[in-house]
Structure 1
Amino acid sequence: MRRVLHVTDCYSTGVGRAVDTIVGLSPEHEHHLLWAGEDDPAGKGFASTTALPGSSLARLRAVRAAVRATGADIVHAHSSRAGVYARAVPAGAPVVYQPHAYKLLDPRLPRAARTAVAAVERALGGRTDRVVVLSEQEARLAARLSPGAGRTVLPNVPSLASPGVRAPQPDGPRRRRVVMSGRVSPQKDPGWLAETAERLRERDPAVEVRWLGSADDPELTARLERAGVSVSGWLPADALVAELTAAGVYLHSAAYEGFPISVLDAAWCDAPVLAREIPAFAGTGLLTVADPAAAADRVLEVLAGGAVRERALQGARDLLREMNPQVQRQRLAEIYA
């Protein structure tokens, strides 16, 4: 048994669900959480939970204090900022760093910012014992940034495939509705989906487009609404299952990813999946689209049924053969060995 201290400043949505899944799939270890975020960790299997303080300097100190208080054998840092808090000064225990999508993958990151982020990652790489990544693309990047650290590809798994969540129960035929799941934030590129929605509205006004997630960015939310996209706000698991089960197409619009749990949740609900053509999806078999014009074309083809819809379904089903709780449980045993 190991004592694992999870550190994250974004315990919400995808990262929060990923942490919860890790805890649930490795109950033989004792898990503690040092956190900030919007979700509530109560009842999620943690032996203790401690809120991160407000300032960055205080957060550096909080990691060392939490290691001492919990007797942690391993610090598992989730996301880039938590990676700084756990590695900028010696944490007092081996550090496992899981970026959950390197910021360097953002294609819109200015060159100067890209250079600065890479320099910080390389500087902290010497204090990293293992990097946990979500795809082979991230593994190649980790090899350059933290060459002395071990590397493990830990596939994400559907967050909805967990005890207590009602299994998908189709209620009649799927609707002529396109959905995307995630926080309304620049990484998820709501503008890309909004442009797709505008093209769809010109060609078939009966097709609905809906964003499933919290409206974190008011300006981007307004852009979606101007395009006729409804924004659900945060949804509990059962409501998310109902939305994904009823949707005619799941379309993932993000500009960059590690590997999104939301796509796996859509696959688990057996929704036809289309994904924006980004490196995270290379080699997966998902049906991808390059731009909003191509996305609108493919959406209409999927909604029409036939071979394209079957391809979108099969790509999603194939994904779950490699990204499932059994595989993740095996990889976690290696990481915490």
Structure 2
Amino acid sequence: MMKKIRILHVAQAAGGVDRYIRMLLKYLDKEKFENILVCSQDFLEEDYRGLVDSFERIEMTRAIGGNDLKAIKEVRNLIKKYNPDIVYAHSSKAGAIARVADIGLKNYCVYNPHGWAFNMRCSAKKKAIYTAIEKIAAPFCEKIICISDAERQSALDKKICKEDKLQVIFNGVDIEAYENGVHGAVKREDLNIPDDAFVVGMVGRMSPQKAPDVFVKMAKQVKEKVLNAHFIIVGNGNQEAEIRKYVEDNGFSNSLHITGWVDNPMSYVELFDVACLLSRWEGFGLAFPEYMMASKPIVASRVDAIPNIIRDGENGLLVGVDDATGASKAVLRIYQDDELKNRLVTQGMEDVHNRFNARRVSEEHGKLFETL
């Protein structure tokens, strides 16, 4: 019997990273790999039953501050306790903590930023700080995994590390789980949406990155042309009050439905006629393969990694960042043209099976871990 390769995962931000790790672990070969998760208070142990051999929770916060030193010390103690073959750090905060904690210990270190912090829309000063941190930390790991070609390119542009340290492993979605799962769990009437309504939706936090403000401006313009249009935002976030105020001021609050945080976003995606994500920056955009898997035509912003996934006119329509008018025109094009809609959906379905399958994400990780 071969000795299993022991991997210690370190993760701070829940949300997309949490979904990613669960999917990765589900399809990683249990015969070959043993997994330990060291995560922040935002993760739930029951989500990882049957996926990890050990689960450890420590206090980690997103902001940079004094408690980082405590977190580094705790992570270092856990690395010593479990003595893994590979330490795998997920997203920028855990990436910094784990790489510092791992200095001088005998193992391989892999880091996946899940979207570079310096590509966020923030002040030049913040960008410079994030870039500096990544450059300083880069020598303390063997491999950096990029979730798209755009991410890899921006690492090279910013001279984060040498090219041979970077490896692209495209994100994926769990197609099998979705196809074998329960469909139609949420009905339009549950949200007071008429059956014959034209429904446009988005899945994403109501935060500046996901541009819910652009989504509702687009919605207003679509509503002027399509009277029975309804709009769904699947998510929660700190911009909710201003989003609600905008739709109220513009007189269509009965047509906007905000679900808040849900643990079955796909059940809501099934209600959409058109699926949008108009992000201002995006390391990958896991919502896109999810939309494709649910056979939805897509309208997306042309930014960062999105054109790696959405090819304009083939598997979706691309519009400029912050261009609510362009987005509303794209949505109306799909509304009016069934042939276009069907073409986008068919190509999207093919792409999600060929390019964005979670099994492939795990297989590529498995190969990387074995070569290390």
Do they superpose with TM above 0.5? yes
Native 8 Å contact 1:187 1:254 kept in 2: yes
Secondary structure, in 3 states, of the residue corresponding to 2:270? helix
1:1-337 alignment to 2 at 5 Å?
1-11=4-14, 13-26=15-28, 27=30, 28-42=32-46, 43=49, 45-54=51-60, 55-91=67-103, 92=105, 93-106=107-120, 108-143=121-156, 144-147=159-162, 150-159=165-174, 161-162=176-177, 166=181, 168=183, 175-213=197-235, 215-217=236-238, 220-226=239-245, 227=247, 228=253, 229-237=256-264, 240-284=265-309, 285=311, 286-290=316-320, 291-320=323-352, 321-337=354-370
Native 8 Å contact 1:21 1:159 kept in 2: yes
The 1:71–1:90 alpha-carbon spacing in structure 2 relative to 1, beyond 3 Å, is: closer
User: How many angstroms does 1:169 deviate by?
Assistant: 5.5
Distance 1:198 1:145 in 2: 42
**CA offsets 1:19-76 (integer angstroms, 9 cap, x no match):** 1011111133111111125442322511111112252111111221111222211111
Runs of 5+ unmatched residues, structure 2: 61-66, 189-194, 248-252
Secondary structure, in 3 states, of the residue corresponding to 1:259? coil
Distance 1:223 1:141 in 2: 32
User: How many angstroms does 1:86 deviate by?
Assistant: 1.1
User: How many angstroms does 1:308 deviate by?
Assistant: 2.7
Q: Which has the larger radius of gyration?
A: 2
Which stretch shifts more, 264-273 or 192-201?
A: 192-201
Distance 1:163 1:294 in 2: 32
Native 8 Å contact 2:149 2:308 kept in 1: no
Distance 2:212 2:368 in 1: 35
Native 8 Å contact 2:113 2:145 kept in 1: yes
The 1:152–1:251 alpha-carbon spacing in structure 2 relative to 1, beyond 3 Å, is: same
The 1:274–1:311 alpha-carbon spacing in structure 2 relative to 1, beyond 3 Å, is: farther
Runs of 5+ unmatched residues, structure 1: none
User: How many angstroms does 1:149 deviate by?
Assistant: 5.7
Native 8 Å contact 2:234 2:259 kept in 1: yes
Distance 2:226 2:179 in 1: 38
Aligned length: 330
Native 8 Å contact 2:36 2:55 kept in 1: yes
Secondary structure, in 3 states, of the residue corresponding to 1:7? strand
Distance 1:278 1:221 in 2: 24
Native 8 Å contact 1:158 1:262 kept in 2: no
Native 8 Å contact 1:155 1:328 kept in 2: yes
Distance 1:153 1:174 in 2: 43
Letter in 2 for 1:187: Q
User: How many angstroms does 1:163 deviate by?
Assistant: 7.5
**Percent of aligned pairs with the same amino acid:** 20
**CA offsets 1:248-302 (integer angstroms, 9 cap, x no match):** 0110122111112222111111111121111212243242112211111111221
Distance 1:103 1:128 in 2: 18
Distance 2:173 2:204 in 1: 14
Native 8 Å contact 1:5 1:34 kept in 2: yes
Distance 1:66 1:104 in 2: 29
